[in-house]
Amino acid sequence: MEDYNRILVLRLSAVGDVIRTLPAVKAIKTHYPSASITWIVEEPSKALVESQPGIDEVILFPRQRWSEGIQSLKGWWRTIGEVRTFIQSLRRKKFDLVLDFHGILKSGLLSFLSGSPQRIGFDRRSSKEGNFLFSNIKVKLPEERISRFKKNFNLLKGMGLEVQPEDYPLFIPAEDRGYVNSFFNQLFPPLKSPSIAIHPGTSPKTTYKRWLPDQYARLADRLIREMDATVLFTWGPGELEWVKMIQRRMKESSILGPHTISLTQLGEVYRHCDLYIGGDTGPMHIASLMGTPVVVIYGPTDPVLNEPFGPHKKVIKNVGCNPCRDRSCKRLKCLEEITVDDVFKATREVLSITV
């Protein structure tokens, strides 16, 4: 097995995809503990990556600032200068190896311009926008569809690592553990088992993945009445009113989770819970990396590509048009067809095994 001193990781965005790259990068550090790992990432995921031991350096890729800069002549010249400085700084680091988990044009360009002699990426079939042209070690994926977690582990074959997805949990900094523990310590009555976290929201750009609020309210009521469960709702930016609306439609009492300012704080909330229920979102993958079993409500998204990391149960209804990426869809039959009974049954099945 070849020795590497400086390794560059490319997975710029989105948050959910960065989360699903973390276990593979942690596996690299396990097998190459003395290697220095640098990760280039965009702003939304920067704090998460910085919080993880084993990532020695995080470089911000300022996509938004550069996109805005090229819209004027003055800004265009300033941006060109920043890009040149960025690339020069990258080349001075003299990376031995680049792993391009992203597989698009801009990540391919970064890989090539880094000057690294070994640039590992996916082959033509498994990358986009001509990305494969910038790699000199191309990894071919299995013919069958696989999860993005498994896809990322497959890329490690390019550096001679045959690694199976294992338990590479999310690291939670002490201050985040303390903040969340303080919330739970003040709860009255205290959290009791089975404790079920429900995250009904999604990012503002992916509201087409949200199950109906009335369905969530009826599900939460059933969990409390029939399973004597504690239900805790978590929420992210712009989702608080959505969650409060669901709680108002309930007949039973539930807990509103704490305000979390980082994904690691959110992960610590899920560590306290016996189960997670929600849609195909970044928080779902965070919960799975915390070792919390998950029940995932899939509507338009692919349940194979977006499979969680650990114990889980998928709830999906094939209505003929899913999976799809039609964000403008107003009918959302794929979500309307999923009943409270479907999700309740999946929840009961998972808890009977894990709790």
Residue where one domain finishes, among candidates 132, 159, 186: 159
Has residue 228 been placed in a domain? yes
Q: Is 22 exposed, middle or buried (0-12, 13-18, 19+ CB in 10 A)?
A: buried
Residue 189 confidence (pLDDT) above 90: no
**Banded pLDDT at 166 (limits 50, 70, 90):** confident
Does one domain contain both 150 and 265?
A: no
Question: How many domains is the chain partitioned into structurally?
Answer: 2
Question: Where do we find the tokens 């919390």?
Answer: 292
Show the domain range for 106. Answer: 6-159
Does one domain contain both 143 and 179?
A: no
Comparing 163 with 249, the larger pLDDT belongs to 249
97-100: strand order across its sheet: 57-60, 36-41, 6-10, 97-100, 118-122, 137-139
Has residue 37 been placed in a domain? yes
Does one domain contain both 84 and 196?
A: no
Q: Rounded mean pLDDT of 322-346?
A: 91
**Banded pLDDT at 335 (limits 50, 70, 90):** very high
Residue 283 confidence (pLDDT) above 60: yes
The confidence score (pLDDT) of residue 1 equals 60
d(CA 9, CA 287) in angstroms, rounded, equals 23
Average pLDDT, the chain: 94
* Contact predicate 76/69, CB 8 Å: yes
Residue 258 confidence (pLDDT) above 60: yes
User: How is residue 188 annotated by DSSP?
Assistant: S
**Among 91, 119, 99, 94, which residue's Cα sits nearest to residue 28?**
99
**Banded pLDDT at 354 (limits 50, 70, 90):** low
**Banded pLDDT at 182 (limits 50, 70, 90):** very high
CA distances to 141, 179, 251, 341 from 230, rounded to whole Å, are 42, 21, 14, 18
The confidence score (pLDDT) of residue 134 equals 98
Residue 277 confidence (pLDDT) above 70: yes
- Of all residues in the chain, the percent with pLDDT exceeding 90 is 82
Does one domain contain both 83 and 155?
A: yes
Has residue 166 been placed in a domain? no
**Banded pLDDT at 37 (limits 50, 70, 90):** very high
The CATH number assigned to the domain holding 293 equals 3.40.50.2000
**Banded pLDDT at 329 (limits 50, 70, 90):** confident
